[in-house]
Amino acid sequence: MNTQVMSQMYKKRIPDDSNDLSIALIICAGIICALHVGKASIAIPQMHELYHWSLSSLSWIMSVFSIVGMIGGIFVGSLVQKWGDKRLFCIGLAILAGGSLLGAITTNFSFLITTRVIEGLGFLLVLVSAPSILNRLTPKSKYNIVFGFWSMFMGIGIAISIFLGPFLNSWQSLWLINAGLTFFILFIIIFKVPNTEINNSNFAKNISLKKDILKVFKSRNPFLLAISFAAYNIIFFSVFTFLPLFLINRMGISASQSGVVCGAVILSSIVGNIGSSILLNRDIEAKKIIIFSNIFIGVLGIGIFLPFTPNILAILLCFLFSIISGLIPATIVSLAPLSSPDKNLISLCIGLVMQGNYLGLVIGPLAIGLAISFSGWTAAIIPVVIFAIIGSLSSLLLKLKKE
């Protein structure tokens, strides 16, 4: 996370080396929350086999998780100022764990989807409040390191879930274990993380939220970045939502083998996250990184889903796809501060970009599920190519001032 963004968003900080345990707990909690994202991908093959639900229906189990964020991402940030970051974080963990627990006790599709909406709300609250906690607890000397680790939580959590999920006897076990882990980390955080609240600064008091939101929406650059983020997530989850099932159907490997391969592939995206920081530090223009990454993952996506691609080559292409796509999200976040029309609107610009992120999380699984249901695995090429082009064009249109 860009330090300038965080310093604008949250002014009050109590950095201290004694907060290392609290920082580690927040990052661990983020990884545990990401388990709830990854569990859907590994559960889909089991649900498809057990209940004969269609792939287009099953795609909602992944997509609906993000609908709350797609609608309310830009507004939830204001709750941090009103309720305090730790309180909002703990409420989010409780909601996420409760939703997972409810989901584990049902085999009714509609009720399961409802519990995923509940989980999504909890995840959004955690995602918004965690950077505030880390910002006020982290000493300046460790700032970039801490937020570097935080940026990897999603990839690590999803990979762990996909690695371990196939070794459990049912998808319900995965839901229950995730709920238990979330309740456990919530209990520790309540007692171990400092409870200092964010004060009502003049910045928070003087803004007119409605006018500022309108100003952000009228601004060109945040909107283009949101489109780029949406396009990235559509492509990423178009490939990885059904990757376990794709490997099982196409290559005939077992569910456990598929989980190991998928986990390793998703974990490799961390290489791209680190690579983005290296390229940016070498003054490579950020929008060029996004444009060329979109072009490469579009080509790689075609190769993955072509019916005549050899199995080993398809797996290799998945690894390359994951690594290169990992360049995009960190680069978009680095551009977000420069997209703001006013320094006081940085947090709202970040909110708008995050809504683009969530929009992609919703559309991606649905797009791939519908394409596969109508025309088979090769049809997955269509959404990958379309949104790779959209992601490239939206980045090309960016006009940002250098810091």
Between these two residues, 60 and 224, which has the higher pLDDT value? 224
Fold of 208-403: Growth Hormone; Chain: A; (1.20.1250)
Examine domains 18-196 and 208-403 and report if their fold is the same.
yes
- pLDDT over 90 at 261, yes or no: no
* Residue with the two structure tokens 């300038």: 4
Question: Which two three-digit tokens encode residue 270?
Answer: 């961390």
Q: What is the pLDDT of residue 143?
A: 66
Q: Is 218 exposed, middle or buried (0-12, 13-18, 19+ CB in 10 A)?
A: exposed
The pLDDT tens digits of the residues spanning 17-75 come to 568 899 999 999 999 999 998 888 778 878 888 888 877 788 788 777 777 777 776 77
Of the candidates 17, 386, 22, 319, the residue with the CA atom closest to the CA atom of residue 196: 22
CA 362 – CA 285 distance, rounded (Å):
29
% of the chain with per-residue pLDDT over 70: 85
Q: What is the pLDDT of residue 1?
A: 41
Q: What is the pLDDT of residue 144?
A: 61
Under CATH, to which class is 18-196 assigned?
mainly alpha
The pLDDT tens digits of the residues spanning 339-351 come to 777 766 666 776 7
Structural domain spans, the chain = 18-196, 208-403
